[in-house]
Amino acid sequence: MFHKEGHKIILITLVLVVATIFAIDYFVSTEWLRKTLMLLVLVFFVLILQFFRNPKRFTNPDDKQAISPVDGKVVVIEEVFEKEVFNDKRIQVSVFMSPINVHVTRHPISGKVTYSKYHPGKYLVAWHPKASEENERTTVVVENEGFGKVLYRQIAGALAKRIVNYAVVDQNVKQGADSGFIKFGSRVDLFLPLDAEIKVSLNQKVKGGESVIAEMT
């Protein structure tokens, strides 16, 4: 199953791949070179398919838990001052996605969307300290009674050139449901209440829609 944001790119890539294979077959006479070039073109197409895959995830809804919005590796767990929305201290948990990770973004909690904003910006590497404030990004806040307010921020990386965000203010959303997509490498930051109990550790690999990031006791 492929994400809808990839349908157009996959179709265009398929047309280009077929045309390229025919061109290689027509113009390249050396057999080993022809086969090598064709294989490279097919590998490229497989990588595109892999990037836009959208596997089913099985979320166990829990209003007192915040789950990972994306697949990747936990690269930051620290107390920070969040100044865009809350203007107070929060626990930041950041998940870095490589180009081979699933790039679907999912809602970390169920509840009502109270804030959703797009920010144009730079394309610094996703692990850069200033990426959260200077890169192209979207900021979304979801609130429920069990967990409170959770802010998550999609951040474009050096390769990412388009962020898709489906969250709309006053919309009621479900934990684990599709909330957007980031094309070609990026990071997502979660900003959680200080009294949330963090359930992950640095460098831990997490699955979007399934791995529990934090819970309220």
SS3 43: helix
Of the listed 116, 132, 186, 211, which one is catalytic? 186
Instruction: Specify the pLDDT at position 158.
Output: 59
Q: Which of 62, 103, 68 is nearest to 204 (CA)?
A: 68
Q: Amino acid identity, residue 126?
A: A
Residue 130 has pLDDT above 70, yes or no: no
User: Is 186 part of the annotated catalytic residue set?
Assistant: yes
Instruction: Specify the pLDDT at position 209.
Output: 95
Count of beta carbons in the 10 Å neighbourhood of residue 115: 16
Q: Please report the DSSP string for 15-32 in residue order.
A: HHHHHHHHHHHHH---HH
CA distance 108 to 142: 8
Q: What is the pTM of this model?
A: 0.83
67 HSE (CA, 13 A, CB side): 24
103/45: higher pLDDT = 45
Least confident of 33-37, 100-104, 109-113: 100-104
CA distance 63 to 49: 34
SS3 114: strand
169/1: higher pLDDT = 169
Mean pLDDT estimate for the chain: 89
Q: How confident is the model at residue 52 (pLDDT cuts 50, 70, 90)?
A: confident
Instruction: Specify the pLDDT at position 151.
Output: 97
